[in-house]
Amino acid sequence: MNKSETRVFAALERAVSEESPRWRVMAQVSLGEILASPNEEAYRAINSKRVDFLLIDEAGMPLHAIEYQGAGHHQGSAAARDAVKREALRRAEIGYIEVMPGDTPSELKGLITKLVAKQKNGSILPA
């Protein structure tokens, strides 16, 4: 992780430990480790992609992918890669959230608070 991603990771970890201590934050997770497809071509399309952060529950089940839209995310085919990730995660009913470089630790905590509340209400995907 670069310095900006490390700051976001630390803020997410703090927020998760306060708002939902049974959840965990994982960094740089390969989608091939959390998604499957009987279609080999579809699986190859996602296997090499990764998400910046993944929120998992106490059983290790993925809940929400968080993409940090730092400077590197706006280069080349990043938008197309993000679209593939977003759709694969949507089909798997795993939330997809984007955070920006200017998001403060307080804003990230607010995001986690909302996700925890939605989870408690039975809604995984963000509104």
- CA 109 to CA 97: how far, in whole Å? 13
Kindly report the CATH class assigned to 3-113.
Answer: alpha beta
Domain extents for the chain? 3-113
pTM here is: 0.88
- CA 50 to CA 39: how far, in whole Å? 19
Strands 95-99 and 62-68: what pairing? parallel
Residue 127's pLDDT is 43
Express each pLDDT in 35-77 by its tens digit.
Answer: 988 888 888 888 889 999 999 999 999 999 999 998 765 566 7
